[in-house]
Amino acid sequence: MKRHKTYQGSITKSSDLRPNQIYVFGSNTEGRHGKGSALIALQEFGAKYGQASGMQGRSYAIITKDLRKKVHPSVSPEIIKKQIQHLYKIATDSEYEYVISYRANVINLNNYSPKEMAAMYAAFDIPLNFVFEEKFYELICEEILLKKLKDGIED
Q: Which domains does the chain have, with CATH numbers?
A: 19-154 (3.40.220.10)
Read off the pLDDT band of 1 (50, 70, 90): low
On the CB side of 122, CA atoms within 13 Å amount to 21
Read off the pLDDT band of 61 (50, 70, 90): very high
Rounded average pLDDT over 77-90: 98
Looking at residue 154, its pLDDT comes to 60
On the CB side of 68, CA atoms within 13 Å amount to 5
| pLDDT higher at 64 or 149 | 64
Looking at residue 132, its pLDDT comes to 98
How far is the CA of 82 from the CAs of 5, 21, 95, 120, 121, in angstroms? 23, 22, 22, 9, 10
Q: How far apart are CA 103 and CA 115, in angstroms?
A: 10
Rounded average pLDDT over 3-32: 97
Read off the pLDDT band of 78 (50, 70, 90): very high
Read off the pLDDT band of 123 (50, 70, 90): very high
Looking at residue 96, its pLDDT comes to 98
Rounded average pLDDT over 51-67: 98
Rounded average pLDDT over 45-69: 98
Contact of 123 with 79, CB cutoff 8 Å: no
| pLDDT higher at 155 or 60 | 60
pTM: 0.94
Rg (CA), the chain: 15
Q: How far apart are CA 70 and CA 96, in angstroms?
A: 36
Count the neighbouring beta carbons within 10 Å of the beta carbon of residue 19: 7
